[in-house]
Structure 1
Amino acid sequence: MGSESVPTTKTCKEVESLVVPLLPNKEIDDVDASSLYDMQSHGTWLHCGYHLTTSIVAPPLLNLPYAVCLLGWNKGMMYLIVGALVTFYTYNLLSLVLEHYASKGLRFLRFQDIAEHILGKAWGRYFVGPLQLAVCYGSVVSLIILGGQCMKTIYSLIWPNGEVEVYQFVMMYGGAVLLVAQVPSFHSLRHINLVSLVLCLSYSAFAAAGAIYIGNSSPEPKDYSIVGSTENKIFGSFTAITMIAASFGNGIIPEIQATIAAPVKGKMFKGLSLCYTVVILTFFSVAASGYWAFGNGTKSFLIDNFIDNNGNVLVPKWFLITTISFIILQVSAVSGVYLQPANILLEKMFVDPTCKPFSLRNVTSRVISRSISVMIATTIAGLLPFFGDVNALIGAFGFVPLDFILPVIFFNLTFKPSKRSCIFWLNLILACVFSLIMVIGVFAATRQIVLDSNAVQSLDRLSDSLRLPSVANSAWNSLSSYLAENT
């Protein structure tokens, strides 16, 4: 090794007090860099609460009025309550499973690891691990989309005739996320996530107040009927359910619990209680006020309703800019949280555990790999400017199995409750019901993205953003023309 590396045993002794080994009998020499450096267990239950709140109480909650719009008052509020109760229940079940193994000396730091232990290596390595990585990385993509859209809105408010396009703001916002991605460990995000908690309370209060203000100011009667054909209503219902699932989704409970210093017993419950206090204050106030104010005219992102079809701002301009600014700031923190599974993988692949965490070799590897990861996410975001639809797909594809299905399966397989017990059948019913919702929800969300997307426009945007040379540009234009003629 170079001059900055040290013998494995010495380095591991230096960091042994900073981490909890992945498995009890695993030699510290064999622990990979992600366990040593990224998954540090120093946090309190308050820090855990900050992480949980940032990962759950995020801008997707501003989709909730639209979800209620697709379901109607009764079903919409009912599914919100069910979503809150079920996720609080399943997150606590997963926490109990993790605590159970920790009490036996098995401290699992990653979702994939506990899945491998309970379901087998194949399930953990080839299903749960890739699924978690995909859903978290997909969340980062959707958040970068949202950040770019919010920046574009502020830009349009200040310079109505400006020529900068949404995808260009998406690229700019990706640069901000790139900076957050360099935070060395999950635990290091605790102060950022405390600020994030304050921000989510702030923009939720502003959004609810703005909706109530507009609702009281509008002379038009409110229509709460569900519009569309029977087919659209059915698919819309499942899209709404998956939006709600995405709003309550987390997908990284084991990673968050891994940040807590031992002993972990009872701390996750306190963190979840803090988180769900914020959930109740924000989710229900935003969903109810937004749908009350705009009825079936509610748009997929509540803030879009604050500007009418003629471009007139329906609330004071400073109020809207402040609200959107809070959202932009919090989105960067949420992106940092959901980059963690990707960061863990990159740390494992490229960072040398025999070197000090901030050695030149490891810092260089970390910065380059994480930067490339964010650049790829930003490029994808520039092609998919449909935040609500992408959010619904992520909810169906990833958050439903990770947050609604796997925790109850893990609990039943770990504690083996009697088949005559209520908890066994409750868990089994939840697993079956949400498996069905997942399948239909993926189809419904994909259908909505297809309806909203324009492949030719996306290709044109990518061509412009990459500034392709003339020969490649000609080929690209030919492909665009072909698609235009055949779609």
Structure 2
Amino acid sequence: MSEEKKDFMSEPFIVKNIDYDDDEEATIVDDYNNSQGKTSFSKTCFHGINALSGVGILSVPYALASGGWLSLIILFTVAITTFYCAILIKRCMDMDPLLRSYPDIGYKAFGNTGRVVVSIFMNLELYLVATSFLILEGDNLNKLFSNVGFNFMGFELQGKQMFIVLVALIILPSVWLDNMRILSYISASGVFASGLILASIFWVGAFEGVGFKNSDSDVFRLNGVTTSVSLYAFCYCAHPVFPTLYTSMKNKRQFSNVMVICFTICTFIYASVAVLGYLMYGSNVESQITLNLPTDKLSSKVAIWTTLVNPIAKFALMVTPIIDAMRSRFSRFLPNKRASGFVLSTVLVASNVIVALLLPFFGDLMSLVGAFLSASASVILPCLCYLKISGKYRRLGFETLVLIGITLTGILVVITGTYRAVKDIFGRF
């Protein structure tokens, strides 16, 4: 692959090499970014669970409430489908040892156009997920500290808006960091946080007087299925990370086993939180389960504060690939690397704040990301790339029919889910 064919958005997902000041530090490479194949089986499992588990855990009760109890079948179907698509990514990389990242797979399949398309979906998804972090922080802090605001020179910010801006200011210094090793250590709290949230929600329901006998629930809600599918798809949107995990492994033959473990554990967590939340609050469950929890209980505070800390820790890791791509694009205008990183990261966070203030609807934004971006990046693109790279599109066999069926279903989810999410967002104005 020649250098001149690389597009400015071809930066691998969290695979950026960092220039350290000291030669000794230059030998330290994070397991997430290690392309030499030194990561053990257990550490790869840890990284995979950390990638799959995220803020989607907060919205699964709302997804279940939207579609009813039978939508749990959709959750498991999405889990199985996205697991299969993860294996397809592995197969693509097995066919060419030069492939190192998700955009590389797109390039191998469809040339520079494929690289650009994959990169756009990947970076746009990261951008909107980072924006959702700010909305999430604003919602939960406003729940904890209501009726708080300030007025500065006639400019007034109240409640949720104020907290979105405040959290962005707190996050900004971490985005200025140019050291992926530090950022990845910060983000490693994700696995622990998901387990702690599950335990806290169970404790609230079992021992804090809420209970699990809410009768306000439905077996099936046809008009909410689209929202359920979109939110479930968002929970399994880690596929851009999987090529990095694969290339970092000592024994790449174990990657399929890693995926089995990661998807099984994360699906168990997602399903458990969905069932507990729906049993506790029924159709009254909020787009974030933490907004339903009583703030005067210790277990609720643990869940809410864990929810608050985790996005702050992960924000910089989410936007760093975008900043790297922007830096590569605008390097001719900003020759100083450190200064360019400072300016671009500040501008990016400022734009996140603006979008969060204009579209402060967590559930609807997650539905949009899940339907339009996650379904594309985690389902449609892996199937299309594998069909092209493997050459299976030339012959009509059972697996080819399965791949075509998954692709068509994914396209249907993108169309219907995006339409519903956009309609719901505009309906709030």
TM-score by length of 1: 0.73
Question: What amino acid is the match of 2:348?
Answer: S
SS at match of 2:252: coil
Q: State the match for 1:383 in structure 2.
A: 358
Contact 1:132 1:341 in 2 (8 A): no
1:289 paired to 2:270 = no
Deviations 1:396-431 (A, max 9, x none): 110001101111111122223474532221111100
Partners of 1:267 and 1:182 lie apart in 2 by 36
Q: State the match for 2:312 in structure 1.
A: 332
Partners of 1:397 and 1:95 lie apart in 2 by 23
Aligned with 2:410 (options 425, 434, 439): 434
1:257 paired to 2:257 = no
Contact 1:235 1:444 in 2 (8 A): no
Pairing 1:220-231 to 2, within 5 Å after superposition: 222-225=215-218
Deviations 1:194-214 (A, max 9, x none): 222111211122123323446
1:240 paired to 2:228 = yes
**Percent identity over paired residues:** 19
Q: 1:273 to 1:189 in 2, by over 3 A?
A: farther
Q: Which runs of structure 1 show a deviation greater than 6 angstroms over 4 or more consecutive aligned residues? A: 30-34
1:55 paired to 2:51 = yes
Aligned with 1:444 (options 407, 420, 425): 420
Partners of 1:44 and 1:428 lie apart in 2 by 34
Shift of 1:391: 0.4
Contact 2:134 2:356 in 1 (8 A): yes
Shift of 1:271: 4.2
Contact 2:90 2:243 in 1 (8 A): no
1:86 paired to 2:67 = no
1:120 paired to 2:77 = no
Aligned length: 397
Q: 1:221 to 1:263 in 2, by over 3 A?
A: closer
- For the aligned residues, what is the CA RMSD? 3.1
Q: State the match for 1:194 in structure 2.
A: 188
1:323 paired to 2:303 = yes
Question: What amino acid is the match of 1:319?
Answer: S
Shift of 1:63: 0.9
Partners of 1:325 and 1:271 lie apart in 2 by 30
Partners of 1:221 and 1:197 lie apart in 2 by 29
Consecutive unaligned residues in structure 1, runs of 5 or more:
1-22, 228-232, 308-312, 356-360, 455-487
Question: What amino acid is the match of 2:194?
Answer: C
Partners of 2:11 and 2:280 lie apart in 1 by 51
SS at match of 1:326: helix
TM-score by length of 2: 0.82
Contact 1:215 1:292 in 2 (8 A): no
Q: 1:414 to 1:376 in 2, by over 3 A?
A: same
Q: State the match for 2:64 in structure 1.
A: 68
Partners of 1:174 and 1:444 lie apart in 2 by 29
Partners of 1:113 and 1:177 lie apart in 2 by 31
SS at match of 1:58: coil
| Residue range with higher mean Cα deviation, 188-197 or 144-153 | 188-197
| Residue range with higher mean Cα deviation, 33-42 or 195-204 | 33-42
1:162 paired to 2:114 = no
Consecutive unaligned residues in structure 2, runs of 5 or more:
20-32, 150-157
Q: 1:226 to 1:273 in 2, by over 3 A?
A: closer
Shift of 1:91: 1.2
SS at match of 2:189: helix
Q: State the match for 2:253 in structure 1.
A: 266
Bigger radius of gyration: 1
Partners of 2:299 and 2:316 lie apart in 1 by 27
Pairing 1:336-355 to 2, within 5 Å after superposition: 336-350=316-330
Q: State the match for 2:382 in structure 1.
A: 407
Partners of 2:403 and 2:352 lie apart in 1 by 35
Question: What amino acid is the match of 2:202?
Answer: A
Shift of 1:291: 1.0
Deviations 1:142-181 (A, max 9, x none): 111112222222223xxxx534410110111112332332
Partners of 1:226 and 1:404 lie apart in 2 by 27
1:184 paired to 2:178 = yes
